[in-house]
Amino acid sequence: MKLNRTPLKVTAAFIFGAIIAGSVATATTNSVVSSVVVCADNRTQALSLAKSGVCATNKTAIEIGSNSINAKSISALVTPSVVSISVKTTAGSGTGSGSIYKTSATSSYIITNNHVIESAVTSGTIKVEFADGSEIPATIVGRDRMYDVAVLLVKKGNLPVIALGDSSKVSVGDEVLAIGSPLGLANTVTQGIISALNRPVTAGTTDSTSYVNAIQTDAAINPGNSGGALVDSQGRIIGVNSAIATLTSGGTSGSIGLGFSIPINEAKRVIDEIIATGKSTRPVLGVVFDDVSADTQAKILQLTPGEGAQKAGIVVGSIITSIDGVKISNRDAAIVKIRSYAPGAVVTVVLTLPDGSSKSYKVTLGSAPAV
């Protein structure tokens, strides 16, 4: 499973905790001057101001607005909303993680990675284990291989849902917690920072490649963390943990301080579409890239008739150099950046034309069913 082909000699691998033999686990911040204690309802996660800094027994005290993360309070708040996922098939079994996304009186939706549950799509069983140790069967609502997102349904209601953050407003250096079940060890919390943003990452196989405009973190992430939550200093999910980097030589596995999460803003569109329809869509630029030069540039080999690139007047043989001001160094970087948008978005694409000149185009992205 390859990290987008950068000069770094690393491999990006999915972090599903495989048990079977031979299986490979595949903005700007505001200045803060003070903090305040609020109370989070243990069931609904609703926040209310603490009176004299004290919360009722059915609520968890959490300090927000401070310059550093309160790992103990955030862990207590978020852990009940993060679950362990076990998958069993005729080929073997494995573990992953997930977060409770929506709940009603009778059922709840859980979000995870597609690669966690993919082996059980046609046969096998999926079970979800909650923070209290109870287990319940789950069914697949829908999944998207290209975004590595899946939604499960459990017949259990009134569960504590995870609070949603805004991944467009996080910054490099922000403190975060990664919560999940690495190596099957449920309710594991690790702490770190956001190391980089908009990191183009590809993982998976030729037939099932996921493209992620990832949040990079040094919080320890290991096999089994797949699908778990990356949360901010207020306990809000800002990313779905999906992959780790490993050294290409020496067969090193496990965390080396390079973990990658799907930004929640990107994942949310796909999740909401799956919950509403069972399916999801992806944005389309309307080009086919040249595979020969894919490692070093995003050269357009042909245009898709009737799609945005052709309508905008883009010329075959041109090379994409930036999209909305983000430098594009190769084909995978172009694909990852386009996938970070919703269908119908208008993007500014700068190209080097076949004659060597540079030109900017406004392109309206089309829509296609996800696969």
Question: Which has more pLDDT, 246 or 59?
Answer: 59
Indicate the burial class of 258 (C-beta count within 10 angstroms; 0-12, 13-18, 19 or more): buried
Task: Indicate yes or no: pTM above 0.85.
Answer: no
The share of the chain scoring above pLDDT 70, in percent, equals 82
pLDDT tens per residue, range 300-332: 999 999 999 999 999 999 999 999 999 999 999
Q: Summarize the confidence of residues 138-157 as an average pLDDT.
A: 95
Q: Is the pLDDT of residue 2 over 60?
A: no
Q: Give how far Cα 117 sits from Cα of 56, 84, 124, 162, Å.
A: 38, 12, 10, 20
Q: Is the pLDDT of residue 111 over 70?
A: yes
DSSP 257: S
Catalytic residue among 73, 86, 108, 115: 115
Any residues with CB less than 8 A from the CB of 72 and at least 6 apart, and which?
A: none
Residue 163 one-letter amino acid: A
Residue in the structure block whose two tokens are 């080009």 = 287
166 a catalytic residue: no
Q: Which of 90-104, 111-125, 244-258, 267-281 has the lowest mean pLDDT?
A: 244-258
How long, in residues, is the chain? 371
Q: How far apart are CA 18 and CA 250, in angstroms?
A: 20
Q: Measured in whole angstroms, how far is the alpha carbon of residue 368 from the centre of its chain?
A: 20
Domains of the chain: 1-279 (2.40.10.120), 281-369 (2.30.42.10)
pLDDT tens per residue, range 229-240: 999 988 999 999
Indicate the pLDDT class of residue 280, thresholds 50, 70 and 90.
Answer: very high
- Please give the pLDDT value at position 206: 52
Residue 40 one-letter amino acid: A
Indicate the pLDDT class of residue 204, thresholds 50, 70 and 90.
Answer: low
Count CB-CB contacts under 10 A for residue 100: 23
The share of the chain scoring above pLDDT 90, in percent, equals 58
> Are 178 and 221 in contact, with CB atoms under 8 Å apart?
yes
Q: What is the dihedral of CA 339, 119, 108, 74, to 10 degrees?
A: -70
Q: Is the pLDDT of residue 194 over 70?
A: yes
Indicate the pLDDT class of residue 32, thresholds 50, 70 and 90.
Answer: very low
Q: Is the pLDDT of residue 15 over 60?
A: no
Closest-CA residue to 310 (of 347, 338, 341, 285): 285
Indicate the pLDDT class of residue 128, thresholds 50, 70 and 90.
Answer: very high
Query: 198-218: buried (b, 16+ CB within 10 Å) or exposed (e) per residue?
Result: ebbbbbbeeeebbbbbbbbbb
Q: How far apart are CA 212 and CA 15, in angstroms?
A: 14
Indicate the pLDDT class of residue 23, thresholds 50, 70 and 90.
Answer: very low
Indicate the pLDDT class of residue 207, thresholds 50, 70 and 90.
Answer: low
Catalytic residue among 226, 242, 318, 329: 226
pLDDT tens per residue, range 40-88: 777 766 666 677 778 888 887 776 655 567 888 888 889 999 999 999 9
Contacts 24+ apart (CB under 8 A), 327-331: 328/298, 329/6, 329/296, 329/297, 329/298, 330/4, 330/5, 330/294, 330/295, 330/296, 330/297, 330/298, 331/289, 331/290, 331/291, 331/293, 331/294, 331/295, 331/297, 331/298, 331/299
148 a catalytic residue: yes
pLDDT tens per residue, range 338-349: 999 999 999 999
357 a catalytic residue: no
Catalytic residue among 97, 144, 148, 255: 148
Closest-CA residue to 279 (of 107, 172, 162, 149): 149
